[in-house]
Amino acid sequence: GEFDLARRFCDEGGATGEPYWGESSYPLHALGLLFIASVSDDWDRAAEMLDLLVGASGAPVLVPSQAWALAAAGDHDRAAEALGRLRSTHLAWFGEHILGGNALIAAGEVALLIGDDELAASAFEHLLPFKDIVLGVPWACSFAAADTLSRLAAHRGDTTEAAAFADRACELYTSLDAPTLIARLDP
């Protein structure tokens, strides 16, 4: 529950990690901010920080994270505008690496928040081929991918696939003995 301290450590880690992680530093920092926002429910602060990160890096892979924070904070118009620039040019290559997979997860979450069926279908279509990569290990992105794929499948009306992804998310959370996170999953 010490979210200010968590944000400070996240910011310090992002600054310290830049020489080591290079261009991955900004996306990793963004994902840390999104995780803190999802647990603290302080999306306004995450949106402000992600605006700064996107402005500083200019990396397209950050835009879905920025849009997710904006949408969760209630600014659906800005979220849709941000993602509108990416649809035709970037979603297809995001799945080529783990940070791109996270960008697809964020795009899927935005689609669900703002009710964009076309974007939801596109995020699902591009994330699904990489499910074995992102769902194969107990990493934070694996939990998010399983969770997001479950909600996207439910949005498409595929209850069987939605249940299978929800079960996988629960297995991953259980593997870390994370009862608080398990409780946050939709039943």
CA 71 to chain centre: 12
Which pLDDT score is estimated for 17? 67
44 vs 172: CA distance, rounded Å: 29
State the DSSP code for 170. H
Task: Map residue 31 onto helix, strand or coil.
Answer: helix
Give yes or no for a contact between 86 and 116, defined as CB atoms under 8 angstroms apart: no
State the DSSP code for 185. S
Contacts of 139 (CB under 8 A, 6+ apart): none
Q: Which amino acid is it at 157?
A: G
pLDDT along the chain (187 residues), means of 10: 80 72 71 77 83 81 88 92 71 67 85 91 84 58 76 94 86 71 61
What's the Cα-to-Cα distance from 5 to each of 2, 9, 66, rounded to whole Å?
6, 6, 21
The first and second tokens of residue 93, run together, are 């290559």
Which pLDDT score is estimated for 24? 67
Give yes or no for a contact between 106 and 113, defined as CB atoms under 8 angstroms apart: no
Give yes or no for a contact between 174 and 182, defined as CB atoms under 8 angstroms apart: yes
